[in-house]
Structure 1
Amino acid sequence: MNLTPDTCYRALLARDPRYDGRFFTCVKSTRIYCRPVCPAPPPKLEHCAFVASAAAAQAAGFRPCLRCRPESAPDSAAWAGTSTTVARALRLIEEGALDGGSVEALADRLGLGARQLRRLFLRHVGAAPVVVAQTRRLLLAKQLLHQTDLPITEVALASGFGSVRRFNEIFRRLYGRAPGTLRGRRGADRAPTRPDISLLLPYRPPYDWQAMLGFLGVRAVRGLEVVDGNRYRRTIRLGAEIGEIAVTHVPGEAALRVSIRFPRLDALPGIIARVRRLFDLAADPEAIRRALSRDEALAPLVQARPGLRVPGGWDAFEVAVRGILGQQVTVGAATRLAERLVDRLGDRLPEDAGVPGLDRLFPLPERFTLETVAAIGMPGARAAALVQLASAYRAEPRLFDRRHDLAETIARLRDLPGIGDWTAHYIAMRALQENDAFLASDVALQRALVVDGRRPTARGLLARAEAWRPWRAYAVMHLWHADAATASRPSLRRAR
C-alpha cells in the first residue's frame, strides 16, 4: 500500500480496517496517537502526522489513545522486506533482548555496530531500539491492565520493567496518570482471580484457524500437545520452569486468545513472542495474496484459502529434531517417531501439575545419546544426525538465530550433519519465520504442480518460484493443502 498522507487521511476518515496497524495518526492538537479505526471524531488533516509504528509516535512525544488502544492493533509490517537486520532485531527485542541487555549487546549479536543499528531503526521504524523496547513494554502493560486482574507490581514485572518504581514513573510521564486508574474500581491492585493469564493477540484478517488446527493436530505428539475441539494446548519449558499454553480463536475480535500458566511472570513477553510466531500472527494476507495470485496455478488456491498461515514452532531445536525425524517418511510415521522420542527421553510432569492430558516435555539436548536415540527405531545415520544436532546446540545456544539473509541461514543449517536443503528450508520456514523459505525438492509440491502428467523438477520449480518472492513459504502451504485435498491414494511423502 502506498501510504501517502492523503491515503492515510482517507483511511482515517473511512476507519478502514485494512490499514489498521499499518500506520498511526499523531494528533498534534491533543498529543495523542491513534489507530486508523479509532472511533473518536477525526481531526483535521493539518493537525495530523502519520507514522509507521507506535514506537515512532511515542518517540515524537505522543501518548496512546485510551479509546482505540494501539496495543490492540495487528503487528505493523512497515519494515518488512526493507531490512532483514531490523526484522531480526525487532524479533529479539520482542523476546526481551533489551529488557536486561544493552543496545551494544544487541548490535553485537546482529553483527554490526550500535550506531549503525540505531540508524537502521530510525530509517525503517522511526524510533531508536530503546524506544521500541520501551513502547513494547508499555503497550503490554496497558494490555495487562485492561485484560487481567494482575496486581500493579506483577504487571510491571510481567511487561519487562525491572522495577515498579521505574514502571510507575514512565507510565505517569506518558499517560499523565497512575497505572491503576485505567482499571477504575475493577481490581486496581488485587490478587488475580485465576492461576493463568489470558490475553488477546490480534492478527490481520482473514485467518484460516481450521487449517492451522488441522496442520498442528495431525502432528501433535501425545502428552506434549493436543488439539481438542477448537483449542490447541501444549506444555512449555523455559529454563528450569515448566508451564502450559492454551490457544483459541476469537474471530469477532480478529484475535487469538492465549491462556498462559507459567510460574515466572518476567517470562511473559518471551512466551507471547513465541505464541505469535507459532501461529504466524504477523502475516500480511493482502500482500501475500497480491504476490501469489499472479501465478495462474496459485491464484485459485489463494482465493480459496485467503487466511492461510505458515505454522511455526514453539522451539527451534524441537522443530529441527522433528524435521530430521520426518526425512523420507510420512507425516504419521514422523509423528510416531517423535512420540517415542518424547516418551523415552522427555521429562514427565509431576502428578500435581494440573495439566489434564498433557504430561510430557520435549527432551533436552543433553538427553540425546546415540544409544537412546537409536532405540526408538530409526536408521543409524538419522539417529547420529540427531545426536550431532543436539551436541552442536549445546555448544552454541544461538545455533538457530536467523542470519543476515535466507541464503546465509540455509548455509549455516546445511553445515550441520544430516541436514540437507529440504530440512534446512523446513527449519527456516517453521522455526525461524523465514517467509521466503522454499522446499523445491518436496514431492508434494511437485505433484501439486503437475502439467500434462509431468512433475516439475526441483530446478524448474525454483525458477518458477522466483515470481513468488518474498512469500514462497506461503506458496508451500497452499500447495501442500492442494496436494492433500486431491491425493486420495496412499503414497510415500516427506513429513511436513
Structure 2
Amino acid sequence: MARALRMIEEGALDEGSVEQLAARVGIGARQLHRLFVKHLGASPQAVAGNRRLLLAKQLITETELPFSEIAAAAGFQSLRRFNDAVRTVYRRNPSELRRASKASGTPAAAAISLRLGYRPPFDWARVLAYLAGRAIPGVEQVDAETYRRTYRLGGSTGTIEVTHQPDRHALSVRIDGAGALPVRQIVARVRRLFDLDADPAAITAALGDDPIVGPRLAQARGLRVPGAFEPFELAIRAVLGQQVSVKGATTLAGRVVQRSGTPLPSPRNGLTHLFPSPEELARADLSGLGLTTGREQALKGLAAACASGACELKPSVSLEESVARLVTLPGIGEWTAHYVALRALGEPDAFPSADLGLRKVAGGGVPIAPRALERMAEAWRPWRGYAALLLWTEPMLERTSSSAA
C-alpha cells in the first residue's frame, strides 16, 4: 500500500494502468483494489484522481499559471479532461474558481508557491539541522529557517525553497524553474524529503512504551526521518559517507559536484550546480578528488547501473528486494543498502542492524551482535527506521557508526 501510494504520488496512474501499478508492487490488480477500498475507502484510480484535483485547485487559486500548464502539472492527459473534472467536482470551471479566489483576497503568486500539510507535531528544527549537516555544496543550502536546492526533472531545471508554517501545520514550497514545471513530481519528492506523510500517533503507539527507544521518542516529539529529493543523489552520498565523518563526506560530495555536475546559468543563494545524472557520473573522471580506488569504482559502478536501468532506485519493490539488489553492486553492503532504502526509498522499516553505533547503544555501551539487535528490533516493526534514527541521536554516536552518511 505504501509503495503504491508513493508511486501514485509520482504519477504512476496518470498514464499507466492499475494493472501495471499492481505488477510493480508484486500483487494482482484485484488484490490492490481490495486493499485500497479496505484501508482508504476508495479505488486506486479514485485516489489518483482526487490527488490530481487537489493539486489542480491549488494551482488554479494560488498561481497565475495558464490552465493548460496546470492540467499537465497536475497529471491530466488533456485540457478537456481537466476542465470536465474541475466542473464536475467544484461546480465551477477553472476561470470561475480563479476569479472567486481573487475576489476573496487570496493572492496569486508570481512563482509557484504551494503549502504542503502534515500531521502535527513536526520537529522542523531537528529535520533542518540533520539536512544542514549533510547539505551538498552547490546543490543544497540550509540556513536557520530555510532549505534550498537545485533540481532537474524531465526537461525542467530550477530551484526550490522550503520554509515552515507551524501555525498552518504546513511547509511552504516555492518553485522557480525553466521549462514545463513538473509540479506534481516536485511535490511528491518534497513530501518524501521531509517525511510529511508520517503518522506520529501510529509511531508513538508502536514505539512509545519500548524501554530503549520510548524515552528517546518522548524527547523527540514530531520525529521525522529525513528523506531524499533525488534517490540517486542520496545513494552517491551514502557511498561517499562510508567510514568517514559527516563533514568529510560533505566535502567529497562537493568535489564530485564541481567535477561532474552541471553549472547553473544564474547561481544564487549558494546554489551553483545541478547534481550529476547517472550518465554524467558514469563517464566522469573522478581522479584527484581524494577518493580511494575502491570508493571511486563503487561510485562509477552505481552510476553505470542506474544509467543502464539495472539498478532502479524507486519504491516499486519490497524492502528485502531493494536491499538484495543494492548489495549486488560493488562497494555497497547491508548498511548502505538499508540506509538508502530508509532515506531514498522511504522504507520506514529499513534497519542497518550491523551498524556499530546502534549495537553499542542497544547494548548499553557494549556492542551486541547484529543478530541480537535484529531480535530486539522485531518489537519496533514496522517503524524500525524511526527507532534507528532515535538511537543515532546518542551523543558521540556519529564517530562509532559504520557510516556517517
Structure-2-length-normalised TM-score: 0.92
Match of 2:152, SS state, is: strand
Q: Which of 374, 378, 385 is equivalent to 1:473?
A: 385
Contact 1:440 1:461 in 2 (8 A): yes
CA contact (8 A) 2:60 2:70 kept: yes
Match of 1:293 in 2: 208
1:306 is paired with a residue whose SS is coil
Of the candidates 250, 267, 277, which is equivalent to residue 165 of structure 2? 250
**Residue of 369, 379, 389 corresponding to 1:457:** 369
* Aligned partner of residue 224 in structure 2, secondary structure: coil
Q: Give distance in 2, aligned partners of 1:110 and 1:293.
A: 31
Task: Give the equivalent residue in structure 1 for 2:357.
Answer: 444
For each residue in 1:420-469, what CA deviation from the matched residue of structure 2 results, as whole angstroms up to 9, or x when unmatched? Answer: 10000000000001000011122222333342x42222222111111111
SS in 2 for 1:322: helix
What is the distance in 1 between the residues matched to 2:327 and 2:402?
21
1: CA distance, partners of 2:402 / 2:325:
26
Give, in whole Å, the separation in 2 of the partners of 1:492 and 1:466. 21
1:354 CA displacement: 5.7
More deviation, 382-391/141-150: 141-150
CA distance in 2, matches of 1:107, 1:438: 26
* Residue-pair matches, total: 402
Q: Distance in 2 between matches of 1:128 and 1:163?
A: 22
Query: Quick one: structure 1 residues 112 and 185, their matched pair in 2 at CA, closer, same or farther if it must change by over 3 Å?
Result: closer
Q: Select the residue among 5, 16, 26 that pairs with 1:101.
A: 16
Per-residue CA shift, 1:110-154, capped at 9, x if unaligned?
344444433433333332222222111111112223333434443
More contact order relative to length (CA 8 Å, sep ≥ 6): 2
For residues 401 and 99 of structure 2, the distance between their equivalents in structure 1, rounded to whole angstroms, comes to 60
The aligned runs of 1:300-311 (5 Å cut-off) are: 300-311=215-226
Other structure's SS at 1:349 match: strand
Partner of 1:157: 72
Percent identity of paired positions between Structure 1 and Structure 2: 50
* Alignment partner, residue 403 of structure 2: 494
**What is the CA-CA distance between 1:194 and the residue it aligns to?**
4.9
Describe the shift of the 1:454–1:490 C-alpha distance in structure 2 as closer, same or farther (beyond 3 A). closer
Give 1:187 shift.
4.5
Alignment partner, residue 70 of structure 1: none
SS at match of 2:130: helix
**Other-structure match for 1:357:** 270
Matched, 1:428 2:341: yes
TM-superposed CA distance for 1:244, in Å, is 0.7
- Cross-structure match for 2:281: 368
Tell me, which stretches of 5 or more residues in structure 2 are unaligned? none
Contact 2:13/2:45 (CA < 8 Å) preserved in 1? yes
Segment drifting more, 289-298 vs 367-376: 367-376
Q: Distance in 1 between matches of 2:180 and 2:49?
A: 17
Query: 2:245 touches 2:398 (CA, 8 Å); kept in 1?
Result: no
Paired residue for 1:405? 318
Aligned 1:53-452 pairs, distance under 5 A: 86-187=1-102, 194-265=109-180, 267-350=182-265, 353=266, 355-369=268-282, 372-396=285-309, 399-451=312-364
Change (3 A) 1:367 1:183: closer
Contact 2:260–2:284, Cα closer than 8 Å, also in 1 = no
Letter in 2 for 1:104: E
* Rounded Cα–Cα distance in structure 2 between residues aligned with 1:175 and 1:112: 35
Q: Is the 8 A contact 1:330 1:493 kept in 2?
A: no
Report the Cα distance in structure 2 between the residues aligned to 1:195 and 1:183, rounded to whole angstroms: 14
Distance 1:223 1:379 in 2: 23
The answer on whether the counterparts of 1:245 and 1:260 sit within 8 Å (CA) in structure 2 is: yes
Are 1:446 and 1:455, in contact at CA under 8 Å, matched by a contact in 2?
yes
Once residues 98 and 319 of structure 1 are traced to their aligned partners in structure 2, the CA distance between those partners, rounded to angstroms, is: 26
RMSD: 2.3
Match of 1:26 in 2: none
**TM-score with structure 1 setting the length:** 0.76
Give the ranges of 4+ consecutive aligned residues of structure 1 lying more than 6 Å apart after TM superposition: 488-492
- For 2:350, the aligned partner's letter is A
Which amino acid is the alignment partner of residue 408 of structure 1?
E
Query: What is the CA distance between 1:398 and its match in structure 2?
Result: 6.2
On the 8 A contact 2:155/2:180 being kept in 1, the answer is no
Aligned-partner Cα distance in 2 for 1:440–1:124 = 31
2:157–2:177 CA contact under 8 A, matched in 1: yes
Q: Is the 8 A contact 1:283 1:309 kept in 2?
A: yes
The residue identity in structure 2 corresponding to 1:456 is I
Counterpart CA distance in 2 for 1:490 and 1:277 is 27
- SS in structure 2 at match of 1:360: strand
**Cα deviation per residue 1:346-379 (whole Å; 9 max; x = unaligned)?**
11111xx363321111111122358722432222
2:311 & 2:97 partners in 1: Cα distance?
A: 39
* Deviates most, 418-427 or 100-109: 100-109
Cα deviation code 1:50-103 (max 9, x no counterpart)? xxxxxxxxxxxxxxxxxxxxxxxxxxxxxxxxxxxx322221111112222333
CA contact (8 A) 1:443 1:494 kept: no
C-alpha contact 2:137 2:253 (8 A) present in aligned 1: no
User: Aligned letter for 2:274?
Assistant: L
Rate the CA distance shift 1:267–1:403 in 2: closer, same or farther, 3 A: closer
Cα distance in 1 between the residues matched to 2:368 and 2:162: 38
Which protein has the larger Cα radius of gyration, Structure 1 or Structure 2?
Answer: 1
Contact 2:342 2:349 in 1 (8 A): yes
Give distance in 1, aligned partners of 2:29 and 2:134: 42
